[in-house]
Amino acid sequence: MTGRKAAPRKKAFKTRAGTGCSTCRKAHVRCDEEKPVCRRCTRLSLVCGYTKGTVNRNSTAPFSSTAHRPLLPAILPRQGLSHHPNTALNHSDTLYLDFFKSAVVPWLCRQPDGPSGFWSRTLLRECMRDSSVVDAVIGIAALIRARNEKPSSPSSGASDGKLQVPPSKHYSSALRHYTKAIASFRQRIEATTARSPQAMIPPRTLLIFTMLFAVFELMQGNTNAQDQLVSNGLQLFGGRLRPCPAWTDQQYQLTPPHEALDDAEIYDAESFLIRTTTWSAIFSPMYPRSRQVLAAQATLSVSYAGEGLLGSSPPGRIGVSVQDFWQTWWHFITKAVMWHLRVQTILHGVKNDAGNPGMNDGNALPSNSVILAQLEEEQRLLSARTLLWMIETQARLGEISGQLDTSVDQDPAQEAQLRKDRRILTMLALDVKICYLSGCHALDPTGDAWTHPSSVRECTTALDMAHEVVTRLTAGAASPADQNGRYIYEHLVTDGLLIGLLQLARASRDKTVRWRAFRLAKTLVSGTSMSAVKSFVMGTWACLDAEESARDETTGYIRLSERYEWTAASWDESHSVLSVTITSQGLEDGSDERKTKTATLRPETFGFV
């Protein structure tokens, strides 16, 4: 080799730099030059463009010189970012985007009641249309890398193709892309408003950005920012995706019309956002703005009642899979949760009116007696419909259990599906029972109905079911985490199971019921859980602990002045200490002020390490 004359190097870079796609050239990797999209860009869902004519190797021309071939709708989901050259990604951003698709999306889709279609299809399609969505997605991916990884050398290699950099650099990338997405979105709103005061960004777009920004702030543990972003989003699209709680599913429409294919997934995402935000507003004081916005929507009119406030009846078994049955339930429970917030808000107003007898004189608002009668009718309808769900769920569960018990030489795939359906229905049966109990006792101002023997028996039955579900879901908690660094039951936000258990712990005055429910709820939370999820359990404990210390040893009764609500909370900067304030629900004899107590709680005290 040393004696052979070296070949001219004129063409050494011509083939690679002149005819390879711009994305591969920028990443300094070999391109197979397949057109219109090379294999690497197809695999990584990147922009793939070929320059026109000859390119000077010393040129500093930006990517704007790249010509992009329009993609056919049939291949859109498999292709990269389109339509705008500014969406071209560098090598590290490409890896972040790939990490989001391969690891973050599956994790988000594991949320039992989450909008998996939104995360896995709608959002990824939007990444091909909107560079600001890409920035938000990359920001989330980088933030998760910073949150999960231990520091390592920036120069260390990686056989799996992942970024091997210190978490601080991941975090810098996360903030840079997130800030860019926020700024771009604000500019879009301002530009749209400047063109026409009546012009608005499509509600679908507003929802997508609200979901992404909320996830980022939730991952950071920034409750104030999350509360502000979500409440602003609900105000912007709340009256356009679903103008008021009285709308039925059949009336639900989206604009613009060309997004009709995404309607179902967008509907699921909206329902998920409203449901989880309402749970947060009811169970935690750390979301005051969201509570205010949702309460206004839930009580938009106190003059209507009936079907519009409720979800649909359970679908029949013919042609409806268990998964579809479950999905319909989550739309039902979203309206039920909104109804509970409606009840809390209206009863609070009625209670204030009771202290000001002449407050409602001379105006057109319904009298308190009319309002209470209406709520009682709504309660009756909700309980009756929830009972239908309970009956249908048990019938489906019995049918599938019978098929499993009598199966002989069954197809393994079919048997696996039946077992999965049985797990879903078991969890659903628990959710429906807790929803039914909560609905039946929603209008009891004292909460004493929960201590009735029949109610205690129902709660005990529900907890027996919950024990089975929780044991199965947390079976891997004692073993190493899975490949994504999360235990089997580890989700972004609280779901129906955790909320249901906390509801039993808070509402029931029976000592055995409430502490059993609390222990099961605590089992679902780990050291890697989000700060918001930890705070739900910790704040609940503060109320229970204060109440139990005042329980009458003879009668077991807890006076109203010794029952507490969680009214304020804040984390320290490192999220290692939660400061909690609780306030009594009733007045002490001879006092015109409610008692308050404060507590400083640490996650490790609860085993969240």
- Listed range (34-48, 247-261, 365-379, 455-469) with the worst mean pLDDT: 247-261
Does the pLDDT value for residue 188 go beyond 60? yes
Within-domain flag for 73: no
Does the pLDDT value for residue 252 go beyond 60? no
Q: How many other β-carbons are positioned within 10 Å of the β-carbon of residue 129?
A: 15
Placement of tokens 């007045």 in the chain? 587
The percentage of the chain sitting over the pLDDT mark of 70, rounded to a whole number, equals 74
- Listed range (46-55, 399-408, 505-514, 577-586) with the worst mean pLDDT: 46-55
DSSP letter for 7, please. Answer: P
Does the pLDDT value for residue 157 go beyond 90? no
- Listed range (147-156, 427-436, 540-549) with the worst mean pLDDT: 147-156
pLDDT value, residue 376: 92
Range 446-454 contact pairs with CB under 8 angstroms and sequence separation of 24 or more: 446/560, 447/507, 447/509, 447/563, 448/509, 450/507, 450/508, 450/509, 450/510, 451/508, 451/509, 451/510
Cis, peptide link before residue 112, omega less than 30° from 0: no
Residues in contact with 91: Cβ distance below 8 Å, sequence separation at least 6, in sequence order: 26, 27
Does the pLDDT value for residue 477 go beyond 90? no
Within-domain flag for 602: yes
Is there a single domain that holds both residue 178 and residue 32? no
Does the pLDDT value for residue 220 go beyond 50? yes
Placement of tokens 């609070």 in the chain? 348
pLDDT band at 172 (very low <50, low <70, confident <90, very high): very high
- Listed range (351-360, 384-393, 476-485, 567-576) with the worst mean pLDDT: 476-485
pLDDT band at 349 (very low <50, low <70, confident <90, very high): confident
Structural tokens at position 447: 């909460």
Domain membership of residue 31 as a residue range: 18-50
Q: Which pTM was predicted?
A: 0.77
User: Would you call 552 helix, strand, or coil by DSSP?
Assistant: coil
Is there a single domain that holds both residue 127 and residue 270? yes
DSSP 222-274: -HHHHHHHHHHHHHHHHHHHSSSTT--GGG---SSGGGGGGHHHHHHHHHHHH
DSSP letter for 102, please. Answer: I
3-state SS record for 388-416: HHHHHHHHHHHHHHHHHHHCCCCCHHHHH
- The model's pLDDT over 283-315, given as tens digits with 9 standing for 90+, comes to 999 999 999 999 988 887 544 444 556 788 899
Does the pLDDT value for residue 259 go beyond 50? no
Select the more confidently predicted residue: 516 or 310: 516
pLDDT band at 139 (very low <50, low <70, confident <90, very high): very high
pLDDT value, residue 49: 65
pLDDT band at 174 (very low <50, low <70, confident <90, very high): very high
CA distances from 244 to 45, 241, 273, 301, 394 (A): 39, 9, 15, 9, 32
pLDDT value, residue 540: 97
Is there a single domain that holds both residue 98 and residue 219? yes
Residue 380 and residue 372: Cα distance in Å, rounded?
Answer: 12
pLDDT band at 192 (very low <50, low <70, confident <90, very high): confident
- The model's pLDDT over 86-131, given as tens digits with 9 standing for 90+, comes to 447 888 999 999 999 999 999 898 888 889 999 999 999 999 989 9
Does the pLDDT value for residue 37 go beyond 50? yes
Within-domain flag for 356: no
Is there a single domain that holds both residue 97 and residue 194? yes
Is there a single domain that holds both residue 139 and residue 265? yes
Within-domain flag for 565: yes
pLDDT value, residue 404: 86
pLDDT band at 254 (very low <50, low <70, confident <90, very high): very low
134 and 120 in contact (C-beta within 8 Å)? Answer: no
- The model's pLDDT over 394-424, given as tens digits with 9 standing for 90+, comes to 999 999 999 888 866 778 888 889 999 999 9
Is there a single domain that holds both residue 138 and residue 40? no
Within-domain flag for 205: yes
pLDDT band at 325 (very low <50, low <70, confident <90, very high): very high
Is there a single domain that holds both residue 41 and residue 179? no
User: How high is the mean pLDDT of the chain?
Assistant: 79
pLDDT value, residue 394: 95
Select the more confidently predicted residue: 45 or 336: 336
pLDDT value, residue 354: 54
Within-domain flag for 537: yes
Within-domain flag for 541: yes
Is there a single domain that holds both residue 95 and residue 237? yes
- Listed range (240-249, 337-346, 392-401, 441-450) with the worst mean pLDDT: 240-249
- The model's pLDDT over 277-291, given as tens digits with 9 standing for 90+, comes to 999 999 999 999 999
pLDDT value, residue 28: 74
Name the amino acid, one letter, at 89: L
Looking at residues 56-77, what average pLDDT do you find?
30
Q: What angle do CA 231, 233, 236 make, to 5 degrees?
A: 110
Query: Which phi-psi region, left, alpha or beta, contains residue 97 (left: φ > 0; alpha: ψ -120 to 50)?
Result: alpha
Does the pLDDT value for residue 543 go beyond 80? yes
pLDDT band at 257 (very low <50, low <70, confident <90, very high): very low
pLDDT value, residue 588: 81
Residue 133 and residue 303: Cα distance in Å, rounded?
Answer: 40
Does the pLDDT value for residue 227 go beyond 60? yes
Select the more confidently predicted residue: 363 or 57: 363
Does the pLDDT value for residue 494 go beyond 60? yes
Does the pLDDT value for residue 356 go beyond 80? no
pLDDT band at 249 (very low <50, low <70, confident <90, very high): very low
Structural tokens at position 411: 């197809």
Looking at residues 549-578, what average pLDDT do you find?
93
Cis, peptide link before residue 256, omega less than 30° from 0: yes
Within-domain flag for 322: no
Residues in contact with 428: Cβ distance below 8 Å, sequence separation at least 6, in sequence order: 325, 326, 329, 393
Is there a single domain that holds both residue 39 and residue 181? no
259 and 202 in contact (C-beta within 8 Å)? Answer: yes
Is there a single domain that holds both residue 40 and residue 171? no
Residue 488 and residue 497: Cα distance in Å, rounded?
Answer: 14
Structural tokens at position 264: 């179902």
Select the more confidently predicted residue: 74 or 173: 173
pLDDT value, residue 222: 92
Q: Which of 471, 528, 532, 527 is nearest to 497 (CA)?
A: 471
- The model's pLDDT over 520-534, given as tens digits with 9 standing for 90+, comes to 999 999 888 899 999
Looking at residues 223-229, what average pLDDT do you find?
94
Sign of CA dihedral 100, 105, 108, 114: positive
Q: What is the CATH number of the domain that holds 35?
A: 4.10.240.10
pLDDT band at 240 (very low <50, low <70, confident <90, very high): low
Q: Residue 413 class from Cβ within 10 Å (0-12 exposed, 13-18 middle, 19+ buried)?
A: exposed
Is there a single domain that holds both residue 42 and residue 102? no
pLDDT value, residue 511: 95
Select the more confidently predicted residue: 464 or 57: 464
Is there a single domain that holds both residue 36 and residue 125? no
Domain count for the chain, please give it. Answer: 3
385 and 310 in contact (C-beta within 8 Å)? Answer: yes
Looking at residues 28-40, what average pLDDT do you find?
73
pLDDT band at 147 (very low <50, low <70, confident <90, very high): confident
